[in-house]
Chains A and B, each alone.
Chain A
Amino acid sequence: MTALILTVLATSIPLLLAANGELIAERSGVLNLGVEGMMLMGAVAALGMVLYTGNPYTGIIAGALAGMAVSLIFAFFAVTLLTNQVATGLALTIFATGFSGLAGAPLVGKTSESLPRIIIPFLSDLPGVGEILFAQDLLFYLAFLIIAGTSWFLRKTRSGMILRAVGDNHDSAHALGYSVARVRWMAVAFGGLCAGMGGAYIPLVLTPHWSEGMTAGRGWIALALVVFASWMPSRVIIGALIFGGITIMQLAGQARGWAIPSQVLSMLPYLATIIALVLISMRGRSSYLTVPACIGKPFHPGS
C-alpha cells in the first residue's frame, strides 16, 4: 500500500507544479496554453544539466530557468505585443516541442542518477506516514512549499492583491497606477518557472532519461487542473492527487485482475476532471468569484 501511495504522489508532482504556475499566470489575467512546451523544455534542460555537471540538484535550477526562459518569449508576444494569447500559447508548445527535441538529440540514449531521497531522521520512522511524508526528494518538498507560498502570497500579501486586481480588472488596476504589463510579465515568468520544475521532475525522478515529447500531455492536464481547482492553490493539490490516484488505481486494478475494461479505467482521470468542471459550474455564482475576469484579454493601456 505504501508503495502505491508513493507512486501516486510521484505521479502528481509534475502536475502539481505546472498547475500551480499556470494558476498564478491566469490569476494575473494571462491564459498561457504553452504549459506542455515549458514542461518539455524544463525536462530536457534538467537532464542535460545533470549529465553535464553530474549533480542532480543542478537539474532543478536548469529546468526552472529553461521553463522560465520560454515563458518570457510568450510574455513578450502576449503581454507586450498583445498577440492573441490562445494562439501564442499553442505556438509556444509547438515551438518548444520541436526545440526540446533538437536540444535533446545529444542526450538520447543516456541515463543519469535520480534526485536522492532526503530522509528526515526520526520523522521518517513514523509508522504509516513516515516514509510517505519524510523520505522524499528535494523537489517533492519544494513543490508543496511553493504551493503553500503561492496560497499565502495570493491571500495575504499586498503584491498578491495587486496581481489579483490586475487579473480581475486590468483597467482599474491601471487607473490606480499599477503596471499591468509588469505584473503579467512576472506572473508568466513564475508560471514558466513552475512548469519547468514540473517537467524537470520527470527525468530527475520518474524516468531518468530524455525522450522526445516525454511529458505526454501532462501540460494539458495541468491546465485542466487549474480550472478544476477553481484558481485556488490548495485545491490544485487535491486535484493532482485525485488525478494521480485514479491513474494508479486503474493500473493496480488491472494488475489485480478487476473485471473493468482497461480503456474505461484509462478514461477515469479525464472523466474525473470533466465531472469536477461540471460540479464547479453547477455551484453557481460563488465559484465565479474566483474566475479571473480579465483572463485571456489583452490589455491596451491607451484605451
Chain B
Amino acid sequence: MFRKLIALTAGIIAMLTAATASAEPTKVGFVYLTTPGDHGWTYAHELGRQMVEKHFGNNVVTTYVENVPEGPDATRVIRELAQQGNEIIFTTSFGYMDPTLKVAKEFPNVKFEHMTGYKRTPNMATGNIRFYEGRYVQGVVAGMMTKSNKIGYIGAYPISEVIMGINAFAQGLRSTNPDASISVIWANTWYDPVKEADAAKVHIAEGADILAQHTDSPAMLQIAQKNGALGFGQSTNMEAFAPDAQLFASINNWGPYYIERIEALRNGSWSTGDGPDHWAGNTWGGLASDMLVLSEFKNMPADVAAAARDAMEGIRSGKIKIFAGPLKDNTGKEVIGAGEELDDGALWGMNYYLQGVNGKIPG
C-alpha cells in the first residue's frame, strides 16, 4: 500500500516536472540604470525588452531591475538575477562592466551581455550601437538648416563615445556647410532635465539655432520648441515633446539584437562570437543592421530630407565613410591622410575634436 502510494506520488511528480520542463520558459534578466520613464537611454532598452516579450510570448519570462547605481549595488543586483535562475542577463550601462564581469566569473553557466563595454569572458558578451552614424546624418541636416551657422551641442561626459559622436556630427555638418561650427557644453551628467534645459537656453542665447544632445531627457527639445530653434531627439523618438522642433531622432533599436541573442541561447548557438576584436566588443551594429534607426525626417524642406535620406543610405551601403581621410583635428593637425580611414580602435581612442568643432576637450 505504502509503496504503491510512494510510487504513485513519485510518478506524478515525475510527470509534473517533465511537463513543466518541456514548457519551461527561458528566463531573461535586464539591469537598468534609471527608469524607463527617462524617455531616453533606458526607455530604449525597455522598448527592446517589450519586443522580446512580444516575440517569444510564453517561451520567455523577462525580469528587469531599474534604478541600479553603477558600482557595488550593481554587482548585488546582477548576482541576484543570476541566482533567481535567469539564463541570460543584459546589463545596460557602461558602468556595469566590471560588476558584470565579476558575476560572470561566479556563474559560468549563466550568459551575460554587457551593453557598450569591452571586457569579455567565455560567458560574457558585449554589444553596442554605432550611435555616431546617426549623428553624421544630424550634421548633414544641421548644415542645411542653420541660418546662424552656430550649432549648440550638449555633451554628457567627455568620453570617447560622446566625442566620436560630436566628430561624426562635425563631419556631416561640414559636408553640407563648411562655414558652420559646433559649440559644445558638457553637462557632466547623463540625465538632469533642468541642467539640460539650462544648457539649451544658453546655447540659444549665444546664437545657436540648431541643437544636438548626448544627454537623455527631452528637455533640450522642449526649450528648442519654445524658442523657435530646431534639434534632434536622443535614443528614442521625442517628437511628442517638440512636434515643431524635432528634425528627427536617432533611435536605439535594441529589440532585434536581444531577440537574436536569446534565440541563440535557446538553440544552443550562443557564443561571445569571434567578431571583430575592437573596443566595442563582438556586436557593434549601426544603420546597416537596423540597430540604429532614424525617425521620420520632419520640420525640414524636401531637399534637406532628401539629403538626409541619401546620407543615411550612403552609410548603410558603405558608400559614405564617416571617418575617411584626409582628416584634420580642430587645431589643423593631420589625423590621417587621404586614402586612409580611422578603424574602430582609433574611434575608441578619440580624444580630440575634428575640424568644425570649437574649443578644446576639457580635462
| CB pair A263 B240 closer than 8 Å | no
Residue of A nearest to B35 (CB): A212
Residue of B nearest to A257 (CB): B359
With beta carbons under 8 angstroms apart, the residue of B186, B208, B217, B226 that contacts A262 is B186
Q: Give Cα A254 to B191, complex, Å.
A: 18
Interface residue? B37 (CB, 8 A):
yes
With beta carbons under 8 angstroms apart, the residue of A14, A209, A254 that contacts B218 is A209
In the bound complex, residues from chain B placing their C-beta under 8 Å from that of A266 are: 186, 188
Interface string of B323-363 (1 = CB under 8 A from A): 00000000000000000000000000000000000111011
Interface residues of A in 240-263 (CB under 8 A from B): 247-248, 251-252, 254-257, 259-263
Q: Give Cα A255 to B154, complex, Å.
A: 10
With beta carbons under 8 angstroms apart, the residue of A206, A218, A263 that contacts B188 is A263
Residue of B nearest to A5 (CB): B205
Q: How large is the interface on A (under 10, 10 to 19, 20 to 34, 35 or more residues)?
A: 35 or more
Interface residue? B195 (CB, 8 A):
yes
With beta carbons under 8 angstroms apart, the residue of B152, B184, B193 that contacts A211 is B193
In the bound complex, residues from chain A placing their C-beta under 8 Å from that of B363 are: 261-263
Q: Give Cα A257 to B152, complex, Å.
A: 12
Interface residue? B49 (CB, 8 A):
no
Q: How many whole Å from B221's CB to the nearest CB in chain A?
A: 10
Quick one: which of B37, B39, B191, B208 has the most chain A CB within 10 A?
A: B37
Residue of B nearest to A14 (CB): B194
Interface residue? A296 (CB, 8 A):
no
Of A18-26, A107-115, A178-186, the stretch lying at the interface with chain B is A107-115
Interface residue? B192 (CB, 8 A):
yes
Interface residue? A105 (CB, 8 A):
yes
Q: Give Cα A264 to B197, complex, Å.
A: 20
Q: Give Cα A247 to B189, complex, Å.
A: 14
Residue of A nearest to B153 (CB): A255
| CB pair A247 B198 closer than 8 Å | yes
Q: How many whole Å from B110's CB to the nearest CB in chain A?
A: 29
Beyond A207-B219, A216-B193, whether A252 also contacts B205 by CB under 8 A is yes
Q: Give Cα A216 to B185, complex, Å.
A: 18
Residue of B nearest to A267 (CB): B188
Q: How large is the interface on B (under 10, 10 to 19, 20 to 34, 35 or more residues)?
A: 35 or more
Interface residue? A214 (CB, 8 A):
yes
Q: How many whole Å from A164's CB to the nearest CB in chain B?
A: 33
| CB pair B202 A206 closer than 8 Å | no
Beyond A207-B217, A212-B35, A256-B206, whether A202 also contacts B222 by CB under 8 A is no
| CB pair A101 B198 closer than 8 Å | no
Beyond A4-B202, A247-B198, whether A108 also contacts B193 by CB under 8 A is no
Interface residue? A210 (CB, 8 A):
yes
Interface residue? A208 (CB, 8 A):
yes
Q: Give Cα A257 to B153, complex, Å.
A: 12
Beyond A7-B198, A209-B39, whether A111 also contacts B222 by CB under 8 A is yes
Interface residue? B203 (CB, 8 A):
yes
Q: How many whole Å from B27's CB to the nearest CB in chain A?
A: 24
Q: Give Cα A214 to B360, complex, Å.
A: 30
| CB pair B240 A110 closer than 8 Å | yes
Beyond A105-B37, A209-B241, whether A251 also contacts B198 by CB under 8 A is yes
Q: Give Cα A262 to B183, complex, Å.
A: 13
Q: Give Cα A213 to B33, complex, Å.
A: 12
| CB pair B194 A262 closer than 8 Å | no
Interface residue? A3 (CB, 8 A):
yes
Interface residue? B122 (CB, 8 A):
no
| CB pair B205 A254 closer than 8 Å | no
Q: Give Cα A209 to B196, complex, Å.
A: 13
Interface residue? B70 (CB, 8 A):
no
In the bound complex, residues from chain A placing their C-beta under 8 Å from that of B278 are: none
In the bound complex, residues from chain B placing their C-beta under 8 Å from that of A259 are: 359-360
Interface string of A267-280 (1 = CB under 8 A from B): 00000000000000
Interface string of B236-252 (1 = CB under 8 A from A): 00001100000000000
In the bound complex, residues from chain A placing their C-beta under 8 Å from that of B219 are: 206-207, 209
- What are the 4 A-B residue pairs with the smallest beta carbon separation, nearest first? A3-B205, A257-B359, A262-B186, A207-B219
Residues of B within 8 A of A (CB): 34-39, 67, 152, 158, 183-186, 188-189, 191-199, 201-206, 208, 217-219, 222-223, 226, 240-241, 358-360, 362-363
Listed by A's residue number, 26 A-B pairs whose Cβ atoms lie within 8 Å are A3-B204, A3-B205, A7-B201, A7-B202, A7-B205, A11-B194, A110-B240, A111-B218, A206-B197, A207-B218, A209-B218, A209-B222, A214-B217, A216-B191, A248-B198, A251-B185, A251-B199, A254-B183, A254-B186, A255-B183, A255-B202, A260-B362, A261-B362, A262-B158, A262-B363, A263-B186
